[in-house]
Chain A
Amino acid sequence: MADATLAGVETPRAAGLWADAWLRLRRSRAAWVAALVLLALVLAALVGPSFSTYGVDQVDWTQATLASPPSLESDHWFGTDANGRDLFVRVWIGTRMSLLVAVLATVVSVAVGVAWGATAGYLGGRIDDWMMRFVDVLYALPYMFFVIILTVVFGRSLVLIFLAIGAVGWLTMARIVRGQALALRQREFVEAAIALGLPGRTIIVRHIVPNVLGTVIVYATLTVPQVILFESFLSFLGLGVQEPLTSLGRLVAEGALEMETSPWLLLIPSAVLGTILLCLNFLGDGLRDALDPRQRR
């Protein structure tokens, strides 16, 4: 990205920094394994349900009990839930939903937060004051209330959930980025760029944003789990994903109710959720190190 904007300049190692980062990421075993596991889970979420003969809301009346334990003979590899629905299908549908919410909401919060924070931090002074006061005001609003109002006004929809969660997430991101940008603003390389007569937008894109990316990525990987949990909380209130669709958060919440009689209802979705969160953390660490040019060679 940063390199691409230098169009026309003879850069002997074209995509240097990013190619290097890719190499370093591949060399970090934890991050690499985490990425592979994550990829496998995404694949499973995409194609898993089509391997089963059951639908996501299909109740299997043939079983002796509604909540039947996992077994290989019955086609219910993960068992069925309290309503007799196939858990294998529901887990992957839920994973699909959770990942979708998490990724989209995180993208929204990173995009808005980085743009807002970097601009405020770079410009500084009065504009910074006003931009950050705006963030403070939004912080002060009880966001649950905010989400409820949104759903009441616009009706329930998946898109709205992404937007609502992203709209809350960018505030913290903006604060973090703004702090870093303020510090970078004082650095002499930014002053040198100003002295070269580069426009503010170019300086933000080329010099500020690439230097806050490490922090942003780590924070973003921490945002994803928060978003997944927040979504399950919304769903619990009846404001999130609606039946018969489901999400990992919902499955865990439902499983917790049946914990004593049907432990697999809790254990299986929890294991998937836990694996996703763990992988994201490893991947985040690996990315941060990989993107730091000081780690080169």
Chain B
Amino acid sequence: MSAPQPLLQVERVGVRYRLGGTSWPSPARTLDALSEVSVEVPDGGRLGIVGESGSGKSTLARVVLGLVRAHAGRVLWRGAAVDYADRTQLRALRRELQIVFQDPFGSLDPRMTAGEAVGEALHALVAEPMSRVEAGRRISSALEEVGLAQELADRYPHELSGGQCQRVAIARATISRPRLLVCDEAVSALDVSVQAQVVNLLRDLSERHRMALLFISHNLAVVRHLCDDIAVLCQGRLVERGGIEQIFGSPREPYTQALLAAVPEPVVRRKGAGSPNP
């Protein structure tokens, strides 16, 4: 392995799903959601995973978090293989590895206020004992860091906008200062103006705290603004991997080219179009 140790390495991971609920007595049908996928994220780096629905990109995020069990391959954290069955190891890992999901409303418990959701994460992830006042202070500063006003802490998810909910989810995931934040389509459900805010927020957090990102999206243009490297997934397989320049400048795989061609841009298409708008 080369000198700087990657933060996260995913090595030849495969995931097989059992289809249909109760299969007994007939043998279960299976579907390979991922096969032989290898990616790595350097410390402080930002890797984008792109692909269409069914490409296995969300499954990859869940494997890394230990939410889905891989039947093949392994995940390495700072060079050491992660044993997801080892609770102590897993608890330590979760302090350093967190996730933000796609659905801004669905990723918050409808019966918990923003402050409670962040507080729950604080107590689950930060082991050291702290006073109520100290906890309250940390919750406020976590909300403040993601740009939420203090008075929003008492609101329930349905009283917040989509962008605000997503900020709460980011505050919850980053309160333990993780080394890597996995974002599973974290901005896809947001309105354009809010999407830009959240992309910028993630970038600021990543730069300020040297937090690596594993950013999963179907939108190549968003990935381009946020990541250094890109991995393209198609039907559970890795088809292309490279830096931003290479993937956007000279994509090798036809699948990647097709994805790029399909990105809708607000540019008037005429002859000779393709030049950037304002």
Smallest CB–CB gap between A134 and chain B, Å? 14
- Residues on the A chain within 8 Å of B215, using CB: none
Q: Are the C-beta atoms of B107 and A188 separated by less than 8 Å?
A: yes
Question: Residue B116 contacts which of A9, A129, A195 (CB distance < 8 angstroms)?
Answer: A9
- Complex formed: what's the CA distance from A118 to B8 in Å? 35
Q: Are the C-beta atoms of B106 and A188 separated by less than 8 Å?
A: yes
Question: Residue B172 contacts which of A11, A16, A192, A296 (CB distance < 8 angstroms)?
Answer: A192
A207 at the interface (CB under 8 A from B): yes
0/1 string, A23-34, CB within 8 A of B gives 1: 000000000000
Q: Are the C-beta atoms of A9 and B67 separated by less than 8 Å?
A: no
With contacts A16-B154, A188-B101, A195-B98 taken as known, whether A9 is within 8 angstroms of B107 at the C-beta atoms is: no
Smallest CB–CB gap between B152 and chain A, Å? 12
Q: Are the C-beta atoms of B101 and A207 separated by less than 8 Å?
A: no
Q: Are the C-beta atoms of A207 and B154 separated by less than 8 Å?
A: no
- Complex formed: what's the CA distance from A278 to B106 in Å? 36
0/1 string, B79-109, CB within 8 A of A gives 1: 0000000000011001000110111001111
Closest 4 CB pairs of A and B: A10-B136, A9-B119, A188-B107, A188-B101
Question: Residue A211 contacts which of B94, B109, B115 (CB distance < 8 angstroms)?
Answer: B109
By size class, the interface of chain B is 35 or more
Count residues of chain A with CB under 8 A from any CB of chain B: 30
Q: 11 A-B Cβ contacts within 8 A?
A: A8-B130, A8-B135, A10-B133, A13-B113, A188-B103, A188-B106, A192-B172, A206-B120, A210-B109, A210-B111, A294-B158
0/1 string, A256-297, CB within 8 A of B gives 1: 000000000000000000000000000000000000011010
- Complex formed: what's the CA distance from A10 to B99 in Å? 24
Q: Are the C-beta atoms of A189 and B94 separated by less than 8 Å?
A: no
Smallest CB–CB gap between B156 and chain A, Å? 5
With contacts A195-B98, A196-B125 taken as known, whether A189 is within 8 angstroms of B106 at the C-beta atoms is: yes
Q: Are the C-beta atoms of B124 and A197 separated by less than 8 Å?
A: yes
- Residues on the B chain within 8 Å of A192, using CB: 99, 101, 107-108, 169, 172-173
B191 at the interface (CB under 8 A from A): no
- Residues on the B chain within 8 Å of A206, using CB: 109, 120
Q: Give chain B's interface residues, CB within 8 Å of chain A.
A: 22, 24, 62, 65, 67, 90-91, 94, 98-99, 101-103, 106-113, 115-116, 119-125, 130, 132-133, 135-136, 139, 153-154, 156, 158-159, 169, 172-173
Question: Residue B107 contacts which of A189, A294, A296 (CB distance < 8 angstroms)?
Answer: A189
B93 (CB) vs chain A CBs: closest residue: A197
Question: Residue B154 contacts which of A6, A12, A187, A294 (CB distance < 8 angstroms)?
Answer: A12
Apart from A192-B108, A192-B172, A197-B125, what are 8 other A-B pairs with CB-CB below 8 Å?
A2-B112, A9-B119, A10-B119, A12-B136, A188-B102, A196-B172, A198-B120, A296-B156
Q: Are the C-beta atoms of B110 and A191 separated by less than 8 Å?
A: no
Q: Give chain A's interface residues, CB within 8 Å of chain B.
A: 2-3, 6, 8-13, 16-17, 129, 187-189, 191-198, 206-207, 210-211, 293-294, 296
Q: Are the C-beta atoms of A196 and B120 separated by less than 8 Å?
A: yes
A297 (CB) vs chain B CBs: closest residue: B159
- Complex formed: what's the CA distance from A220 to B23 in Å? 33
- Residues on the B chain within 8 Å of A3, using CB: 116
- Complex formed: what's the CA distance from A293 to B105 in Å? 14
Q: Are the C-beta atoms of B111 and A17 separated by less than 8 Å?
A: yes
- Complex formed: what's the CA distance from A129 to B122 in Å? 35
Q: Are the C-beta atoms of B120 and A9 separated by less than 8 Å?
A: yes
Q: Are the C-beta atoms of B101 and A293 separated by less than 8 Å?
A: no
- Residues on the B chain within 8 Å of A11, using CB: 113, 115-116, 119
- Complex formed: what's the CA distance from A195 to B125 in Å? 10
- Complex formed: what's the CA distance from A189 to B172 in Å? 11
Smallest CB–CB gap between A185 and chain B, Å? 11
- Complex formed: what's the CA distance from A211 to B112 in Å? 10
Smallest CB–CB gap between A198 and chain B, Å? 5
Smallest CB–CB gap between B157 and chain A, Å? 8
- Residues on the B chain within 8 Å of A196, using CB: 94, 98, 120-121, 124-125, 172
- Residues on the B chain within 8 Å of A9, using CB: 115-116, 119-120, 122-123, 132, 135-136, 139
